[in-house]
Structure formats: C-alpha cells, structure tokens
Amino acid sequence: MGFVQSVLAVLGASVMAAAPHDNATQKKQLESLIDATLPFAQQMLNDHGEYFPFGATMSPDGKVTLVGGDPDGEHPKSTDVIALLKQGYRREGAFGKIMACALVYDVRTTPPGATEKSDAIAIDLNHRDGMSVTMLYPYRVGPNKKVVFGEPFARKGTDDIFPAK
C-alpha cells in the first residue's frame, strides 16, 4: 500500500460509514484525482515557479477532467480562482454531474514534526458520498530549480462541496 493509500485509510475512519460507495471505492476514486493533478502542479512549479489554483473532477462514469478557473483580470487573486472553482463544483455536484473533485493550490504550512513553515501543494479532495480530505505535499525548490518533495501528510477536509444527504 502506498503512502497516499495508507493516509487515506487512516482518515477513512472519520467519514460516513454507510455511503453508496464504500470507503475503499471513495479512496480509490480520490487517489485518481491526486494522480491527475499532482504531476501537473509539480510541472508548473518546475517550469514557472508557481501556478494558479486548478483542479479536477470525476464524472459519475469515472472520467477525470482537469479544470481551471478564469475570473476577470489578467492576474486574478488565487482566492478568486478558488471561489470560482468551488462554485462550479457545487453547481455540478448539485446536478449530479460530478461524484468527486480536487482543488489544488499552494500554501505555507508546518509539516508534522517540523518547527518551520514550508511551501506545500494542497489538494482538497471531496467525494459526494462523504469522504473529504486535504493532502499536503511540502516542497522546496532544489539547486537545479526543480521541486523536491518532503513527506506528504493529510488532514480532515472541509467537506464544503457536495450537499449533505
């Protein structure tokens, strides 16, 4: 079992027990969203040193699609892009067009066992059947200007996309 799987397994205890998709299925679907988004964030950091928030959705038939938000203006605030993406996710979720989503953005956070803050890629993951987790991937830019990841960790998600059942 990989690190992401084991972290999600630990967090699985805090999600709904009687969901239409069992916890193992929800975890697998959310891992698919991580697999679709994390490499893109890493590539953007390697190539440009930054990225605007973006995300991915999973349709009810399991198709994963990368998505971006484009509020007015040439250089929108990250908070505006995040708000636009969440608004779209909520709308699509309410109409049953998506069953899971990921929101990817950059944060500063203190990893477990550390005393100083680090840059990190944050991926908010939400599933319509109740699983909500935020994966954090601390990183630094190495001497060759390439991203070097620290140990990833997770925290409980905000569960603010899908309507309560």
Is 161 part of a structural domain of the chain?
A: no
User: Is residue 36 a part of any domain in this protein?
Assistant: yes
Contact indicator for 57, 64 with CB cutoff of 8 Å: yes
Q: Does residue 164 form part of some domain?
A: no
> pTM for this structure?
0.85
142 falls within a domain: yes
| pLDDT tens figures, 130-165 | 999 999 999 998 888 899 999 999 999 989 999 776
Is 94 inside a domain boundary?
yes
Answer whether residue 109 is part of any domain.
yes
pLDDT above 90 for 75: no
Is residue 125 within 8 Å of residue 132, measured between CB atoms?
A: yes
> Total domain count for the chain?
1
List pLDDT tens digits, range 92-135: 999 999 999 999 999 999 999 999 999 999 999 999 999 999 99
Contact of 15 with 23, CB cutoff 8 Å: yes
Domain that holds residue 105: 3-156
